[in-house]
Amino acid sequence: MGLFTLAWLIGEGIIVIRGVRVTHAPPMPGALIASSGIFALLALIAESDRARPVAVALAYGFDLAAFMNLFPPVTGGGAGHPAAKVTCPQNKGAAPTHPDSRQLRNRAERLQPHPRI
């Protein structure tokens, strides 16, 4: 289980490094808990002697995927990829106008229920 624990620590370290590089702050606790949950499930699989090599390989595979996401310009993936940038439409029209009291009164009259006969 030493190799498996090392894979978990490497994965947590990659998440911490990515969080510090991107947001200049520690990562959100949910990110660390989620990755720990994945490694805990893999540890349950690794309890079987026949499945241990597969679980350890999957653990290091997750580490490799997180590492490749750490350097998006080199690997072509991740949040820093140019195609992932989203631009918001710009408001190029006039400033919005606010309705006057007459318009508000007309709206209120239209929204009131009709009396029943």
Whole-number Å distance between alpha carbons of 78 and 66: 9
pLDDT tens per residue across span 91-115? 566 555 666 667 766 766 767 666 6
Residue 8 lies in a domain: yes
Whole-number Å distance between alpha carbons of 67 and 11: 8
Residue 114 lies in a domain: no
State the pTM of this model. 0.58
Domain hosting 67: range is: 2-78
Residue 42 lies in a domain: yes
- For the chain, what is the domain count? 1
pLDDT tens per residue across span 27-52? 888 889 998 999 999 999 999 999 99
Residue 46: closest CA among 55, 37, 38: 55
